Structure 1
Amino acid sequence: MTRLFWRFALLVVLAIALASCVIYFTFSRLFGDPLEHIARDQAAGQIFLLEQYIDQAPADDWLPRLNKVREVSDVALELQPLSIVLPALPTEARAQLLRGAVVMDVGGKAFYRRVDATGARYAGSEDDVLHAQNLPIDVGQALRMEAIRFAVIALCLLLPLGWWTRAHGRSLAALSRMADDFGQGDLAARAQVKPASSIAPLAGRINEMAERIGSLLEARRHLLLSVSHELRTPIARLEFGLALLDERHGGLDPALRRRVDAMGADVEELKTLVNELLGLMQLDHAPALPRQPFAVAPLLRDCMAAVLPRQVEAGIADDLGELRGDPRLLARAIGNLLGNAAKYATARIALSAVREGDALRIVIEDDGPGIPAGQREQVFAPFYRLAREQDHATAGHGLGLAIAARAVALHGGAIAIDDSPLGGARFTIYIRV
């Protein structure tokens, strides 16, 4: 949750900085520049000396008093022509200066003020400006104080935020672990979150959802297993009856013989469906995959030899090495993919395999009609079949690809589907060795 905390911390710091800027510009609009007020407060002694000592002198004593102050003060007090000072000031400051107000120059640590507007001090005093320099103005100190205030406020906000993020992060981590475990097939996984946590209501609802999903999946598994086992008994009876009929009435007329043969084919199809269904259920609830080393290249060649009557174009590298897992299960996955290609291929089926670093890539492709891009993920779902004439014409129950995907996943791999250069579908198996 470190990333979450730093994102919150950055957001808090930016918010404080933005608030400081807004406050500064608002105060500047309503009450004048805050920095100028600070500078005026720091130069209050010199302004007081000017207004209460120098300006209080009689008309003919104004300049002598100014000179006395020059002798004892570190502040440089100079008289400058009004015509030179005015163009150097901003418009608002010019108006203030003409009114006789003190105009602060914060950056220059100085201020300006007209001597007077009527020439009462001395001859030509209405055209002079008193320029005070080297004033004890230190705006940097005020800015440093504001920076410290900013840091203290940020720290006081970030400390409780860090504590909250840590507690919140633990709850999110527990929720994430539960989601991972549940997604990997542990239907009993639940999020363990303290009741005081901010995400406790969310965790409770997710646990309830997981409970319902687990119940539905378990009910589905029991239903499929029960149906599959219950179907075996009537299928066995039908097989026995057909065999008895064939034995006792070997000389059936051709029409009845075709009917009996069709019934036998239907029984075999039912047997295949039940066996595939039971095989899929076993894979879905396999506790652990037996791990034993086996050579990949011979296994692929044996799978190719089993695809009859199609001829498979082979491109199997010699350096595939060994893989740890269940060779029977992987052979079934390869066989299902080759069988699927044989159903839809027009003339060509190709199988290739290469070793890419620590990964094994097996490609099975054909020149059939292919699989639409929008349905390539759905074809791995049990009983899913494409709504095409070719799919309804081919035998199958929509379990072969589901079994292949589950078998490859148990070996730590995955299957991807795209378009083949041959014109049909290309199934690519990636397995880390």
Structure 2
Amino acid sequence: MNRLFWRFAALVLLAIALGSAVIYFTFGRLFGDPLEHIARDQAAGQIFLLQQYVDQAPADEWLPRLNKVREVSDVTLELQPLSAALSALPAARRAPLLHGEVVMDVGAKAFYRRVDATGARYAGSENDVIHAQNLPIDIGQALRMEAIRFAVIALCLLLPLGWWTRAHGRSLAALSRMADDFGQGNLAARAHVGAGSSVAPLAGRINGMAERIGSLLEARKHLLLSVSHELRTPIARLEFGLELLAERHAAGPDMRRRTDAMAADVEELKALVNEMLELMRIDHAHALPRQPFALAPLLRGCAAAVARPSVRVGVADDLGDARGDPRLLARAVGNLLGNAAKYAVARIALSAVRDGDMLRIVVEDDGPGIPVGQRAQVFEPFYRLSREQDHAAAGHGLGLAIVARAVALHGGSIAIDDSPLGGARFTIHIRA
């Protein structure tokens, strides 16, 4: 909310300043300099005295009246040659002076006016100019008044703007929290926004979208769970039937071969169901139990579980503890090692180091690697590379999807690049 308010406040102040500047220059072009008008109003008494008292005197009384005004006034009234006055004024002010107008010099708190254009006051008066100085002109006061006016207008605009942005910011924060919760798997998250809020229509549409997405995901979840659980019953029956069949036809090598093949198919089907259930469990987990556990023994145990080929372990002794779900993290690392074992020619390496509060776990092999263009897709469920090695290897394309979900639940990331061993290198970064 503060960021939204200050952005609006900056725009409002900029708009007021720009509008004031435009008004000033427009009035200056149409009606003359506003500051000069202010200065002329403040010096109106001296101008009136000159025009209505001194100028109304007969020709032989003009100079005596001017001297009387000098004696009683704080304003300095001097006679200057016309040429000197013209040289002191900018070019745009010279013509009004020659025509007998009062020409203000706001910065010097003074004005100029020609005595007359015909020499009627005294001999040579057509070549003289009255220069009035020390006039009671205070432009600073006018500028202070303008500044106060500017501040009052800005305050009157910013107060309701602050109230509006506060309410608007709360509504946006509610939408943001809802989006975060929904993105983390809380399908029941909804944005609670007042009916009078400016984002209420948007919140309603987002809530409706979330409702539909949640319904679809829940339906998908229940469907997959139902299918997976229903598959377990016929699988168990098949296993039991295969055992009975193997006992009855133990002497027949051909029947034994067929029952072994069917048993392998059943095991593959059972593994697929288990993988699907595990993936769904991870997908619908909102948060992990953040319990501490020793990381080095867990990683060494994962490496020891790989049958072929042997894993070269480079786990640092100072890894310390990690926080999260040890079973889920072990499943992720085990899946990576198992995947490497399928494709490696002779070498697999597991290493882990700690950098501050970040842990880096690396699994690499000397297999065929993963093409650059497909490295993001391999983490999608049921995605398999269209290569002979992948079709020859067992699996259903769920192992790496489980790895990606498990790492994400730990607040980490996983990346694939080329390994110095020649194959693929998977790097996990998680916060300890």
TM-score, length-scaled by structure 2: 0.92
- Give the Cα separation in 1 of the matches to 2:410 and 2:295: 13
Match of 1:379 in 2: 378
- Give the Cα separation in 1 of the matches to 2:204 and 2:325: 39
Match of 2:85 in 1: 85
Deviation of the 1:233 alpha carbon: 2.7
Match of 1:400 in 2: 399
SS across alignment from 1:196? coil
Deviation of the 1:322 alpha carbon: 2.7
Deviation of the 1:220 alpha carbon: 0.7
Deviation of the 1:382 alpha carbon: 2.0
- Give the Cα separation in 2 of the matches to 1:418 and 1:19: 57
2:250 touches 2:256 (CA, 8 Å); kept in 1? no
Tell me the alpha carbon deviations over residues 194-232 of structure 1, each in whole angstroms, 9 at most, x when there is no partner: 111111101101110110111011011011111112222
Seen in structure 2, the aligned counterparts of structure 1 residues 89 and 376 have a Cα distance that, compared at 3 Å, is farther
Match of 1:156 in 2: 156
- Give the Cα separation in 1 of the matches to 2:183 and 2:270: 31
- Give the Cα separation in 2 of the matches to 1:59 and 1:372: 107
Note the 1:128-143 alignment, pairs <5 A: 128-143=128-143
- Give the Cα separation in 2 of the matches to 1:387 and 1:114: 100
AA in 2 matched with 1:82: L
- Give the Cα separation in 1 of the matches to 2:292 and 2:44: 90
Give the unaligned 5+ runs of structure 2. none
1:70 aligns with 2:74: no
Note the 1:348-359 alignment, pairs <5 A: 348-359=347-358
- Give the Cα separation in 1 of the matches to 2:37 and 2:408: 73
SS across alignment from 1:352? strand
1:146 aligns with 2:146: yes
Match of 1:278 in 2: 277
AA in 2 matched with 1:311: S
Tell me the alpha carbon deviations over residues 151-207 of structure 1, each in whole angstroms, 9 at most, x when there is no partner: 010111111111111111211122122122212221111111111111110110111
Greater displacement, 294-303 / 25-34: 294-303
2:185 touches 2:285 (CA, 8 Å); kept in 1? no
Note the 1:227-306 alignment, pairs <5 A: 227-250=227-250, 261-286=260-285, 289-290=288-289, 292-306=291-305
Deviation of the 1:90 alpha carbon: 1.6
Match of 2:35 in 1: 35
- Give the Cα separation in 1 of the matches to 2:382 and 2:298: 28
2:57 touches 2:65 (CA, 8 Å); kept in 1? yes
- Give the Cα separation in 1 of the matches to 2:279 and 2:360: 24
Greater displacement, 423-432 / 51-60: 423-432
Root-mean-square deviation (CA), in Å?
Answer: 2.3
1:327 aligns with 2:329: no
Match of 2:194 in 1: 194
Would you say how many aligned residue pairs link Structure 1 and Structure 2?
432
- Give the Cα separation in 2 of the matches to 1:406 and 1:204: 30
Note the 1:96-175 alignment, pairs <5 A: 96-175=96-175
- Give the Cα separation in 2 of the matches to 1:81 and 1:290: 96
Match of 1:427 in 2: 426
- Give the Cα separation in 2 of the matches to 1:403 and 1:308: 21
TM-score, length-scaled by structure 1: 0.92
Deviation of the 1:353 alpha carbon: 0.8
- Give the Cα separation in 2 of the matches to 1:388 and 1:36: 87
Deviation of the 1:286 alpha carbon: 4.0
- Give the Cα separation in 2 of the matches to 1:133 and 1:371: 90
- Give the Cα separation in 2 of the matches to 1:87 and 1:207: 76
Deviation of the 1:416 alpha carbon: 3.2
- Give the Cα separation in 1 of the matches to 2:102 and 2:289: 92
- Give the Cα separation in 1 of the matches to 2:414 and 2:426: 7
Seen in structure 2, the aligned counterparts of structure 1 residues 300 and 11 have a Cα distance that, compared at 3 Å, is same
AA in 2 matched with 1:212: R
Deviation of the 1:237 alpha carbon: 3.6
Deviation of the 1:346 alpha carbon: 4.3
Match of 1:208 in 2: 208
SS across alignment from 1:307? coil
Deviation of the 1:252 alpha carbon: 5.2
SS across alignment from 2:142? helix
- Give the Cα separation in 2 of the matches to 1:252 and 1:132: 132
AA in 1 matched with 2:160: P
SS across alignment from 1:66? helix
- Give the Cα separation in 2 of the matches to 1:370 and 1:91: 83
Match of 1:180 in 2: 180
- Give the Cα separation in 2 of the matches to 1:367 and 1:126: 107
Seen in structure 2, the aligned counterparts of structure 1 residues 288 and 106 have a Cα distance that, compared at 3 Å, is closer
Greater displacement, 145-154 / 306-315: 306-315
AA in 1 matched with 2:305: A
Deviation of the 1:386 alpha carbon: 3.9
1:413 aligns with 2:421: no
1:221 aligns with 2:212: no
Tell me the alpha carbon deviations over residues 340-398 of structure 1, each in whole angstroms, 9 at most, x when there is no partner: 22333344322111122233221112344444555544433322334555444433212
Seen in structure 2, the aligned counterparts of structure 1 residues 84 and 374 have a Cα distance that, compared at 3 Å, is farther
Greater displacement, 414-423 / 275-284: 414-423
State, as a whole percentage, how many aligned pairs show the same letter. Answer: 83
Greater displacement, 97-106 / 309-318: 309-318
Seen in structure 2, the aligned counterparts of structure 1 residues 63 and 420 have a Cα distance that, compared at 3 Å, is farther
SS across alignment from 1:363? strand
Seen in structure 2, the aligned counterparts of structure 1 residues 294 and 135 have a Cα distance that, compared at 3 Å, is closer
